[in-house]
Structure 1
Amino acid sequence: MKAFFDPGQTAHDPQTFLANGVLRPSPEQPRRAEVLHEAAVAAGCEFSVPEDHGIAFISDVHPSEYLAFLQNIHARWQRMDGASEEVVPNVHPNRHGVSYPDGMVGQAGWHMADTACPIGPHTWASAYLSAQSAVSGAQAVLSGEQAVYALCRPPGHHAFSDMAGGFCFLNNAAIAAKALLRAGCRPAILDVDVHHGNGTQGIFYDDPEVLTVSVHADPARFYPFFWGHAHERGRGPGEGTNLNLPLDRGTGDDGFLAALENGLERIELFGCDALVVALGLDAHENDPFQGLAVTTSGFASIAARIASLDLPTVIVQEGGYLQPELGPNLRSFLEGWQG
């Protein structure tokens, strides 16, 4: 399988992660990418460094005001007396206000949903390269590849059009889907991360041209909490083109595969001719987030069932955190896909 990754994606090295009121090391470490790269090579992936396709594909999803914020906020932040080494907001307006602030502290709160997405000196560059991996994956599919793996790190599915969150800055799956749409395809996004792809849902919630399907742990008491519930179906012209399939905490292979069947049926009925899989490996039973209990062999079954749709597919890496089975989980998925 053809694959894309740029070593510069590892330069982003977040140090701040506030969980349950406690400051902890970020689980989204650069080492994740190294482990995933090694596993993908072991599964037979042939990696290339992605081309720089420029900003246009990214700006199909993210407005220029937000991109300017991501590109410049760290340098601006460092000019503030007593500033932290990373940009971490201390105020979150939740968009109830109507005025966009001039000051950097206010803008950080506006554009950053939580404290899991600190912006450091290399965040923009790494996120940009991660997005280029996704675009290169889409372009390879458009050129005739049946399935391509984009090792996107930092991940993307919690990023809204103008707001970072949950380790994510640019929504790589949405960018890949928009690249396919731009070329005349009718794409669907299938998210199998343990966390709901709330940013992806938000980007396409009013859009009838892209179907979004997510199988994930029930957000009633699990991140991202406010999105991912079964009643969320899309809005306006996009009503009926968003499908959430939340699962009880601790659900294993059989329950996950049963929900997946419902998602795949909807994808087939949508009549799509290209697929983006937002691949999270954090649904594993030993992942640090402990949301679901998919086994390593279960990832092979999940992959084989999705691959049976026989759609040109961009596999975009999302979550999956450092633990002994992280690499084997990716290898299982990719080998299951390839049969």
Structure 2
Amino acid sequence: MITVFDEGQRAHDPKFFLSSGAQYPCPEQPARVDALLSGIRRLGGPVVAPPDVGIEPIRAVHPDRYLTFLKTIHARWSRIEGASAEVIPNIHPATRTDGYPKSAVGQAGYHMTDTSCPISAETWDAAYRSAQSAIHAADLVLEGERSVYALCRPPGHHAFAEMAGGFCYLNNSAIAAERLTAAGRKVAVLDVDLHHGNGTQGIFYDRGDVLTVSIHAHPERYYPFFWGYPGETGVGEGEGANLNLCLERGTGDEGFLAALGQGLERVGTWGANTLVLALGLDPFEGDPFAGLKVTTPGFARIGRAVASTGLPTVIVQEGGYLCPELGDNLAAVLSGW
């Protein structure tokens, strides 16, 4: 299997994030790249750098106002006397229909859902290169590859069209899905991350041309808290094109695979001919976020189940944080192909 990865993605190196009011070192670190590449090396496939095809495939998902914010906010923030080294919001609007401020502080609150997506001088370029990796993976599938893995870091599935959040800035999975859809494919996005893919759901929620399925820890007591409930099925033309499969904390292999079976059944009945697998490795029993208890052999079963659909698949890296087995878990999933 071809892996697409741009070395420039390493430059984004957030220092901390806030959780339950406490400051912690940010777990979305450049070292994740080396752990994931160690799993790739075990499988022996080529690693290629993506060409830069420009901003247009990203603009198909994210509007110009948001892209301008991401590109310029750190420089603007840095001009504020006493500002922190990284952009972290301290105020949010009640709704995104409220006024749009000119202030850098106000725009940070408007475009960032939480405090776990700090923006440094290097963030935009790394996120842009991460998106280019997903775009090239989609293009390779369109050219005939059965499956391609995009090592996207920073990840993307918590990014809405105009909001960053949860370590995510550009929604790589949505960008890949939009690229495939524009080429005439009928696309399903299957998200197997520990956390609900709220940004991906939000981007396609009122559309009926892309199916979104997410398997995740139940949000009533887990991030992202406000999205990912079973009753969220889409609106307007998107009604019925969104499926959330919520798992109790501590669910292991059998429970996760049962939900995966339901998700794949929906993908089949919906008639998808191409799949975007938003691959989170954080359901692992040893992941620092400790929400679910999928084992390394369980990840191999997940990979085999998804591969057994026979659908051309763009595999986009989402979560999965530093632990000794991170590379093993990636290799386990990809071995299914």
In which range does the TM-score fall when normalised by the shorter chain?
over 0.9
- Provide the secondary structure at the position in 1 that maps to 2:290: coil
**CA–CA distance in structure 2, aligned partners of residues 98 and 75 of structure 1:** 25
Look up the match of 2:101.
Answer: 101
- Provide the secondary structure at the position in 1 that maps to 2:47: strand
Q: Which runs of 4+ in 1 moved over 2 A?
A: none
C-alpha displacement at 1:44, in angstroms?
Answer: 2.3
C-alpha displacement at 1:45, in angstroms?
Answer: 2.4
**CA–CA distance in structure 2, aligned partners of residues 96 and 276 of structure 1:** 29
In structure 1, list runs of 5 or more residues that go unmatched: none
The number of aligned residues is 337
The superposition leaves residues 138-182 of structure 1 with CA deviations (integer Å, 9 ceiling, x where unpaired) of 000000000000000000000000000000000000000000011
- Provide the secondary structure at the position in 1 that maps to 2:277: strand
**CA–CA distance in structure 2, aligned partners of residues 36 and 49 of structure 1:** 16
Q: Is the 8 A contact 1:16 1:115 kept in 2?
A: no
**CA–CA distance in structure 2, aligned partners of residues 221 and 293 of structure 1:** 17
**CA–CA distance in structure 1, aligned partners of residues 267 and 44 of structure 2:** 28
Name the aligned partner's letter for residue 322 of structure 2: L
Look up the match of 2:112.
Answer: 112
Q: Is the 8 A contact 2:277 2:313 kept in 1?
A: yes
Look up the match of 1:89.
Answer: 89
The superposition leaves residues 270-315 of structure 1 with CA deviations (integer Å, 9 ceiling, x where unpaired) of 1111100000000000101111100001000001000000000000
Q: Is the 8 A contact 1:94 1:110 kept in 2?
A: no
Look up the match of 1:19.
Answer: 19
Name the aligned partner's letter for residue 210 of structure 2: V
Q: Is the 8 A contact 1:157 1:171 kept in 2?
A: yes
- Provide the secondary structure at the position in 2 that maps to 1:39: helix
**CA–CA distance in structure 2, aligned partners of residues 96 and 286 of structure 1:** 37
1:142 equivalent to 2:142? Answer: yes
Over the matched positions of the two proteins, sequence identity in percent amounts to: 61
**CA–CA distance in structure 1, aligned partners of residues 173 and 221 of structure 2:** 25
Q: Is the 8 A contact 2:157 2:199 kept in 1?
A: yes
**CA–CA distance in structure 2, aligned partners of residues 94 and 28 of structure 1:** 28
C-alpha displacement at 1:94, in angstroms?
Answer: 4.1
Q: Is the 8 A contact 2:92 2:110 kept in 1?
A: yes
Q: Is the 8 A contact 2:195 2:224 kept in 1?
A: yes
Q: Is the 8 A contact 1:191 1:213 kept in 2?
A: yes
- Provide the secondary structure at the position in 1 that maps to 2:314: strand
1:325 equivalent to 2:330? Answer: no
The superposition leaves residues 46-88 of structure 1 with CA deviations (integer Å, 9 ceiling, x where unpaired) of 1100110100000000000000000000011111111111000
Look up the match of 1:124.
Answer: 124
C-alpha displacement at 1:16, in angstroms?
Answer: 2.3
Q: Is the 8 A contact 1:150 1:314 kept in 2?
A: yes
**CA–CA distance in structure 1, aligned partners of residues 178 and 97 of structure 2:** 30
Look up the match of 1:255.
Answer: 255
Look up the match of 1:41.
Answer: 41
C-alpha displacement at 1:37, in angstroms?
Answer: 1.3
- Name the TM-score, length of structure 2 as normaliser: 0.99
**CA–CA distance in structure 2, aligned partners of residues 141 and 99 of structure 1:** 42
- Provide the secondary structure at the position in 2 that maps to 1:13: coil
The superposition leaves residues 240-285 of structure 1 with CA deviations (integer Å, 9 ceiling, x where unpaired) of 0000000010000000010111100100011111100000000000
Alignment of structure 1 residues 1-339 onto 2, 5 Å: 1-95=1-95, 98-335=98-335, 337-338=336-337
C-alpha displacement at 1:92, in angstroms?
Answer: 1.2
- Provide the secondary structure at the position in 2 that maps to 1:277: strand
CA separation of 1:207 and 1:44: change in aligned 2, threshold 3 A: same
Q: Is the 8 A contact 2:213 2:243 kept in 1?
A: yes
Q: Is the 8 A contact 1:152 1:172 kept in 2?
A: yes
C-alpha displacement at 1:96, in angstroms?
Answer: 5.5
Aligned Cα root-mean-square deviation (Å): 0.8
C-alpha displacement at 1:33, in angstroms?
Answer: 1.1
Q: Is the 8 A contact 2:96 2:110 kept in 1?
A: no
Name the aligned partner's letter for residue 316 of structure 2: V
Name the aligned partner's letter for residue 61 of structure 2: V
